[in-house]
Amino acid sequence: MKLLILFWTIVSFCEGYRILGLFPYHGRSHFVMFEQLMKSLARKGHQVEVISTFPLKTPYPNYTDVVAFEVTQHIVNNVTFEQLESFTGLNAGYTTAWEVGNPICDRLNTEGVQRLLKNAPHANPPYDLAIVEIFGAHCFAAVGHVLNVPIIGVSSSALYPWAYEYIANPENLAFAPNILLSYMENMNFFQRLYNFLHHKYNVHVFRQASSIQTEMIRKYVSPDLPDIRELEKKLAMILVNSHSSWNGIRPSTPALIEVGGLHVQEEGVELPPSLEKWMNESKDGFIYFSFGSMVKIESFPAKYLKIFYSSLGKIAPVRVLMKIAKSEELPPGLPKNVHTLSWIPQVKVLKHPNIKAFITHGGLMGTQEAIHYGVPMIGIPLFADQFINIDVGTVKNITIGLNLDTLTEERMDEALNAVLNDPKYRNAAKKLSERFLDRPLNASETAVYWVEYIAKHGADALRSPAVDLAWWQRELLDVYAFLLVALLISLYALTVVVRFVFQLVNANDSAAHKKKVS
């Protein structure tokens, strides 16, 4: 028996791929998805090696942190209310490239990455694949290019406007709003017009602001590299954190693989006994209140905290579990039915049978976790795609949307009473959960299958021929122009012929008339 186990272990190892994960961004909420992706591949027997800012605290079989970047910008539990304004506005493309992407590209020059670039091409066994985050620092795809392996992109959100062209994914802006706007399907004319202009503008500013990455990859990696735009188009496919049940029906190529909810995993998530006891003893139910891993609720202006305190106190004996990084910074007067913790195992809490609702800022990860477990929400968006996430949830009757600009105690009271007492929200959440989870393969199995597919069949296996076309060719503008010119020439020729015939007829009539007169 021992020999048989050893045999299968050796076979599994021999068939496994060596995969390099490149996730340099310092956003913990992004890495939650990437960590689970790499762990899923490791569980399948592949040897995964990861470059990130978040090395594992506990060793994991087949998973190795080869480079761990220093945290230079602390955003976990550290984004204040005043800083939120910098995350909003029209220039999302510029901000993503200039403030998030370009500075991260300097990490290509760190000792660990340089050592890997020097040694990896000669590694034995060689790398088979590279997986890189598609957000702002696409420069890290240069590592995969140097290794001469297929490069797979992974996005922790639905695609941002500037990412469509990498795999020539159709961007039908007539009915598919970009994720930077809180538009729904069935847009009116002016919404479609703004959707088009907003999308194209952000693509333009991102391309302009991130063009410096060409100089950076040639400086830090190799002077012979293609420019960043060509490098982006070498992606074999993109794993995207979306699903049609939530994000709607959109056109896509086979190279866009939806794996929404991939990060929703309970493996390794420990529930403190004291918290489990508190939830079990919440016989009248409890509400979970969190604004994610970045935002400090305790930094909000007193007028908002006063509203939260007053409204949450009124729903007792229903309890409230609230994520507060530093509870000592809260003003006095916290209601007795509110329990605060600096860290909360969210998936375990949302799975608990006594939970009634989730008060959230609408971050995609938390939203998908609530959908997974069928928990209705009260949404208060703060920045980025949170506005559209909450608007979509409102349309689907799983979310009651509020806005900080118009938030009052009365509106907070109404939202709490509705989500606690109107069964339509929980019923809708349960139905959406069923659709979200009803797939041929679950999210992690889907991701692993398609990663292995690219490893087996190569970088061009899902590549669209449209990647090699100019934008005006993809839009058939040259065809339309040709047909227009052909039509104009035909009309002109027809006009000439008609005029000639008319003149000929007139000439014959005139000749006949003269002959008759004579």
Q: What is the pLDDT of residue 84?
A: 56
Q: Which residues contact 128 (CB under 8 A, 6 or more apart)?
A: 17, 18, 19, 149, 455
What value does the mean pLDDT take over residues 225-254?
94
Question: Looking at the whole model, is its pTM more than 0.85?
Answer: yes
What value does the mean pLDDT take over residues 503-510?
78
60-114, pLDDT tens digit by residue?
A: 999 999 999 987 655 554 555 555 554 555 678 888 998 889 999 999 999 999 9
- At residue 384 the predicted structure's pLDDT band, cuts being 50, 70 and 90, is confident
Q: What is the pLDDT of residue 504?
A: 83
What value does the mean pLDDT take over residues 258-271?
91
Better pLDDT: 362 or 11: 362
Q: What is the pLDDT of residue 311?
A: 97
Q: What is the pLDDT of residue 270?
A: 87
Q: What is the pLDDT of residue 73?
A: 57
Instruction: Name the percent of the chain lying above pLDDT 70.
Output: 92
Q: What is the mean pLDDT of the chain?
A: 90
Lowest-confidence region among 176-190, 201-215, 234-248, 482-496: 176-190
Helix 364-373 to helix 423-437 angle (10° resolution) is 100
Instruction: Return the biggest CA–CA distance within the chain.
Output: 123
- At residue 7 the predicted structure's pLDDT band, cuts being 50, 70 and 90, is very low
Confidence check: pLDDT of 266 > 60: yes
179-226, pLDDT tens digit by residue?
A: 888 888 789 999 999 999 999 999 999 999 999 999 999 999 999 999
Q: What is the pLDDT of residue 28?
A: 87
Instruction: Name the residue among 172, 155, 179 with its Cα closest to residue 238.
Output: 155
- At residue 228 the predicted structure's pLDDT band, cuts being 50, 70 and 90, is very high
What value does the mean pLDDT take over residues 451-466?
95
Q: What is the pLDDT of residue 385?
A: 80
Three-state SS for 239?
A: strand
- What is the distance between the alpha carbons of residues 370 and 392, in angstroms, rounded to a whole number? 14
Confidence check: pLDDT of 513 > 90: no
174-190, pLDDT tens digit by residue?
A: 998 888 888 887 899 99
- What is the distance between the alpha carbons of residues 153 and 322, in angstroms, rounded to a whole number? 35
Transcribe 34-64 into DSSP letters: HHHHHHHHHHTT-EEEEEES---SS-BTTEE
Q: What is the pLDDT of residue 11?
A: 41
- At residue 299 the predicted structure's pLDDT band, cuts being 50, 70 and 90, is confident
Instruction: Name the residue among 262, 243, 274, 412 with its Cα closest to residue 335.
Output: 412
Specify the residue for token string 């693989």.
257
Judge contact between 112 and 67, C-beta under 8 A: yes
- What is the distance between the alpha carbons of residues 185 and 146, in angstroms, rounded to a whole number? 42
- At residue 5 the predicted structure's pLDDT band, cuts being 50, 70 and 90, is very low
What value does the mean pLDDT take over residues 408-422?
97
- At residue 372 the predicted structure's pLDDT band, cuts being 50, 70 and 90, is very high
What value does the mean pLDDT take over residues 109-137?
92
- At residue 514 the predicted structure's pLDDT band, cuts being 50, 70 and 90, is low
Judge contact between 377 and 370, C-beta under 8 A: yes
Confidence check: pLDDT of 328 > 60: yes
Q: What is the pLDDT of residue 92?
A: 82
What value does the mean pLDDT take over residues 484-503?
93
272: Cα separation from own chain's centroid:
31
Judge contact between 358 and 370, C-beta under 8 A: yes
Q: What is the pLDDT of residue 502?
A: 86
